[in-house]
Amino acid sequence: MDFLRHMNMKTAIIGAGPAGLMAAIEAAATGSRVVVYEKLARPGLKLLASGGGKCNISNVLKPEEFCKYFGRHGRFAIPALELFPPEKLRLFLEQHGVKTEITDGFHIFPVSRKASDVLNALLTECRRLNVEFMYGVEVKSVETEAGHVSEIVSSAGHVSVQKLIIASGGMGYPELGGGPSGYKLAADTGHRIEKPLPAMAGLTCSDAWVKECPGISFQDASVTLDLPKFRKKPSHGELLFTHSGISGPAVIDFAGDVSELLEKHGKIPFRINLFAGKNVEEWLDCFNLWQKDSGKKLVRKLLSQQVPAKVAEALCSLAGIGEDLAAAKFDADGRKRLSGLLTSLPLEIDGAESWKKAMVTRGGVSLKDVDPHTLESRIVKGLFFAGEVLDVDGPCGGFNLQWAFSSGFLAAQPGSISRSL
C-alpha cells in the first residue's frame, strides 16, 4: 500500500486485550490512525489475570510444532505464528522494558512475574503512537458498502473507517470483558459462528464422594479422558478436587474436548492416577509391607498416611474395604481393587465449569470465512479478526496469549486491504 494513502486510513479496533493492543501498535506503527473501542472502563483486565497474574506469555516451540497444540485448526494459525513467533514477542517486550525468561526450558514469563508490566508496556507504546482509546463504548453494528467495511455504529455514535479489526475476545470471565458481542458483529456481517463452548476450565462431576473432598490436591497426578481417541494422551500435573468436581493444571486442558463431547454424550468417563509415577505393582508391594510390618493397623489408617483421610475413606469405600479391616486380613482381591483405584480411579464428568471460570473459549468465528494469511474476512473486505474471537484455542502453556499477540500483529498489516481502496 502507498504509505501516504495508509496515513489517511482510519483503523478501528474492537477490544483492548492483548490481540487488540498488539494490533493497535502495529497498525499505528505503519502509519494508520487508530482508535480502540473497549466496552469496559479499563483495558487488558483478562491479561492482568492471566497465569494468576504472572502472565505466561508464550513458550519455546517453533511455529509448526506450536500450532499442533491447536488441534484440528492448528494449520490456520501458522502464518500468524511465523510472522510474529515467540522470539519476536520476547524481543518486542524487551525493547519496551519487559525482560522475559525461560526457567523450566519451556514456559516464557516476564522476569518480574507481573502481567501488569506486560500491559503497561503495550499501553505505553500505544500512547507513544497516538492510539486513541474509547473506554466504556460498545460497538453495536458494522456497516458495509459494496462489500467493504465502511462505518461502525457504537454507543458513542457513527464513525467512518477503512479497516476494522474485531479482537473482542471470547465468552469467558464476563466480569473481565468476556461476552458474545464480537460473535454478534461477525454473524450480522454474514460470518458463520462455531458454537462457543467453555475451555480451560474445571470439570464438574456426578460422583458424590468427590464433593466431600473440596480443596484436596495431588501435585503429580495423571488424568486421562477414557475414550478411544484420547486414551493415549494423558495430562500430568496438579489435580484439585472442588465442590463441584475436579480442576487444576492436569484437568483444565480437557474442558474444550469435554464441552464438545457433551453435546453428543450425557457423561464422559475419566481415569485418574493420583500419583503419576506409581503403578499397580508398586502399590501391591506397599500393601505387602503393611501386612508384614503393620498387620494390626487398619487399612484405612495406613492409606491415610499416603493420601488425605477423606480420599482414603472414599477409596476404601469404593474398593469395598470395611472400616475395621486390619492390614493382616487385607486379601488379594481387596488389594487388587484398591491398587486399581489408586492408579485408574474412574470418574464420570458431566460438564465444564461455567463461563465465569472458563479462561478460554472453544468455537467462535468460523475459520472458513477468514483468510489465514491476512486474517481478513472472505466475506467483507477491510474486516479482520484477531485473537480468541476466532475458532482457535490451545492448552495451558502460553499458547493462547502468543496466538493473541501474533494474530493481532498479522491482522494489523497493511496487506490486502489496499486492493479495495
Cα separation, 405 vs 57, whole angstroms: 9
pLDDT tens-digit series, residues 85-104? 999 999 999 999 999 999 89
Question: Apex CA 174: angle with CA 120 and CA 84, to 5°?
Answer: 45
Same domain for 226 and 287, yes or no, is yes
Q: From residue 101, how far is each of 106, 244, 399 by CA, in Å?
A: 10, 36, 16
Strand partners of residue 38: 135
Q: Is the predicted pLDDT of residue 3 greater than 60, yes or no?
A: no
Percent residues over pLDDT 90 in the chain: 91
Res 418: pLDDT: 39
What DSSP string describes 147-159? TEEEEEEETTEEE
- Residue 265: pLDDT band (50, 70, 90) is confident
**Residue-wise pLDDT tens digits, 137-183:** 999 999 999 999 999 999 999 999 999 999 999 999 999 999 999 99
In this predicted structure, what is the pLDDT of residue 365?
A: 98
Q: How far apart are CA 11 and CA 16, in angstroms?
A: 14
* Bridge partner list, 362: 197
Q: Is the pLDDT of residue 62 over 70?
A: yes
Residue 263: pLDDT band (50, 70, 90) is: confident
Per residue in 349-395, pLDDT (tens digit) is 999 999 998 999 999 999 999 999 999 999 999 999 999 999 999 99
The answer to whether residues 290 and 403 belong to one domain is no
Shared-domain flag, residues 18 and 125: yes
Same-domain status, 270 and 251: yes
Report d(CA 208, CA 49) in Å as an integer: 32
Using pLDDT thresholds of 50, 70 and 90, give the confidence band for residue 266: confident
The 10s digit of each residue's pLDDT in 272-287 is 999 998 999 999 999 9
Cell of 342: 489408586
Give 285-303 pLDDT, tens digit per residue: 999 999 999 999 999 999 9
Q: Which of 313, 330, 353 is the last residue of a domain?
A: 353
Residue 207 phi, psi (nearest 5): -70, 115
Confidence class for position 51, pLDDT limits 50, 70, 90: confident
Q: Tell me: do 393 and 370 sit in the same domain.
A: yes
| CA–CA dist 193, 365 (Å, integer) | 5
- Whether 151 contacts 12, CB under 8 Å: no
Q: Tell me: do 288 and 339 sit in the same domain.
A: yes
| Cα–Cα distance for residue pair 324/303, rounded to 1 Å | 13
pLDDT of residue 415: 67
Examine the fold and report which residue of 304, 329, 353 is the final residue of a domain before the chain moves on.
353
Q: Does residue 222 share a domain with residue 181?
A: no
**Cβ–Cβ < 8 Å for 170, 178:** yes
201-249 per-position pLDDT tens digit = 999 998 999 999 999 999 999 999 999 989 988 999 999 999 999 999 9
Question: Which CATH number does the domain housing residue 410 bear?
Answer: 3.50.50.60
**What is the model's pLDDT at position 81?**
98
- Are 191 and 67 in the same domain? yes
Show which of 353, 387, 407 is a domain's final residue.
353
% the chain with pLDDT above 70: 96
* Arithmetic mean of pLDDT, 60-75: 95
Answer whether residue 7 shows pLDDT above 80: no
Neighbouring-strand partners of residue 223: 235, 272
Q: Are residues 372 and 335 in the same domain?
A: no
146 and 289 within one domain: no
* Average model confidence (pLDDT) across the chain: 94
DSSP 420: G
Residue 253's domain comprises 202-353
Number of domains in the chain: 2
